[in-house]
Structure 1
């Protein structure tokens, strides 16, 4: 059995359509169970767009593209964080593993192959927290031969994990008071990006509502890694100002994999050069506050 795919959609019909269509072109689409979670409108502005999204996803089961399609429509607005936490918790309990997408992610044709192969390869490796399908275009060291690399930070743009990892997350971050005052811990958390401690502060202060920073924090506490591909299997099309959870940016543009060759997984060591290149993609703390405050305002307004 392949891992089920969960897609979380809201009020972007054109982005949702592109996400579904690219997934339907995957080599393993016909063998994959698809769960689509549709959040309810938060305000009157979003009613019509949510309706258009729901009208579209209602047509998917009729096309017989996937092994099965189940659509879950919320009657109340949960917001992205609660939608993902509750949706993943429900499905991972039944299946033991999940692959997760949002409504603005284009996947390569081998996305499902990459994800399922990685889930199988690393399932019993207790140093691996999650699998990312997205990656930056990085300049890898000449001597680095692996087709994947490790990072201290999880990714929310096309990811996968297992039930035993998901179940350990403390969504309330009950030890935050200790973390907040400990500079050593804060610096260590920021190994995955200079923005991480500040984002957790913003989450606890109620300035943002992010499941991902809490997911990353639990990874940090567990001292585990996320597997990234050298060549991305996901491209984000949502950083165009169109959505609740995005601003306008080309900062994270990447090249989508076109090769039909299967990814070869192994157990590489952490590479300091790659870790630095990865971390630098998140900029300085000053850049973080300029860029992310614009994005987070849109998140809070949910327009």
Structure 2
């Protein structure tokens, strides 16, 4: 089969929205090409201290009053503002309670047309395979191709356009209750074998656990990490974030990840082995999450720290 198949999209789509009608319209136009038969619209309510929110939220919700294709629209509209963390997690939990599998887009995540059949084909392929918990549309390899296949496997469960199953989401824990035990027992070593990356994600997961970050994405990726699960990553970039580099929804990500070019996937080719691509994960950390900058900044300090016992031992020998 090809990833450009024109067959009807069987998998429901979830669109996560708030107060950005122009961006939501662009993403909705892309969803219209796929024409899913069921569309979940998760909408947070206006913030009381933002005067424009009521109007903007109403404009976003009105976009779904008359869609240009036959579709069941399930409106999950919060009357008051719940915040990103609770609104998205509650909306996804409700949708997964109703459907076995979903394709999920945020209002600033613009997909290529081949993103939808790509997700659907791999939702079918790995439907009962507990080793895989998500499929994502983003590629942060800066143009590099990792294989002759259409995708590779990763430990990075990104959410700028993704898909999953109820069987995976049922392990989602917004409060990250297993985090203290997981990190104390060295669980992060199963996520990455790089000390810089381990420190990076440990800091973010710790902040999320303490409630310092308004995020549902880190609890989700942590749930996948606890399961030791893989994420399917395309060799081409199938989703681009159009929210802008100063987007408050994603403040910790590099500006280089926004507005990446979209590419068609073409013929769907499966990799021969189901193993994590370590080199791809390492490159992504270095390029997309400033891993290279972290190494350059802290490597000299770590080098001196490692040498210091030898230096002091040598100095003692002279006295």
Match of 1:211 among 194, 211, 216: 216
Contact 1:12/1:242 (<8 A) preserved: no
CA–CA distance in structure 2, aligned partners of residues 279 and 247 of structure 1: 13
Structure 1 portions without partners, runs of 5+: 289-303
CA–CA distance in structure 2, aligned partners of residues 262 and 81 of structure 1: 37
TM-score (norm 1): 0.83
Match of 2:163 among 160, 165, 169: 160
CA–CA distance in structure 1, aligned partners of residues 293 and 184 of structure 2: 21
- State how many pairs are aligned: 281
Contact 2:20/2:60 (<8 A) preserved: no
Higher Rg: 2
Contact 2:150/2:269 (<8 A) preserved: yes
1:193-241 CA deviation, whole Å, 9 max, x = no partner? 5532111111122211221111111111111100010011100011332
CA–CA distance in structure 2, aligned partners of residues 262 and 231 of structure 1: 12
The 5 Å alignment of 1:51-70 reads 51-70=55-74
CA–CA distance in structure 1, aligned partners of residues 60 and 81 of structure 2: 19
Range with bigger deviation, 185-194 or 97-106:
185-194
CA–CA distance in structure 1, aligned partners of residues 83 and 293 of structure 2: 28
Q: Which residue of 2 aligns with 1:226?
A: 231
Determine whether 1:16 maps to 2:16: no
1:104-155 CA deviation, whole Å, 9 max, x = no partner? 11111122111111111111222111000111134234xx211101111211
Q: Which residue of 2 aligns with 1:89?
A: 93
Local SS of the residue matching 1:61: coil
TM-score (norm 2): 0.79
Q: Which residue of 2 aligns with 1:189?
A: 191
Structure 2 portions without partners, runs of 5+: 1-8, 296-319
1:169-207 CA deviation, whole Å, 9 max, x = no partner? 23322232223434x323433459553211111112221
Match of 1:4 among 4, 9, 12: 12
Range with bigger deviation, 157-166 or 232-241:
232-241
The 5 Å alignment of 1:270-281 reads 270-280=276-286, 281=288
Local SS of the residue matching 1:90: helix
Contact 1:81/1:210 (<8 A) preserved: yes
Contact 1:92/1:98 (<8 A) preserved: yes
CA–CA distance in structure 2, aligned partners of residues 56 and 211 of structure 1: 22
Q: Which residue of 1 aligns with 2:173?
A: 170
Q: Which residue of 2 aligns with 1:237?
A: 242
CA–CA distance in structure 2, aligned partners of residues 186 and 226 of structure 1: 17
- Shift of the 154–176 alpha-carbon distance from structure 1 to 2, 3 Å rule, reads same
- Shift of the 145–51 alpha-carbon distance from structure 1 to 2, 3 Å rule, reads same
Contact 1:132/1:227 (<8 A) preserved: yes
Please tell me the root mean square deviation across aligned C-alpha atoms, in Å.
Answer: 2.6
- Please list every run of at least 4 consecutive aligned residues from structure 1 whose deviation after the TM superposition is greater than 6 angstroms: none
Determine whether 1:124 maps to 2:128: yes
Local SS of the residue matching 2:104: strand
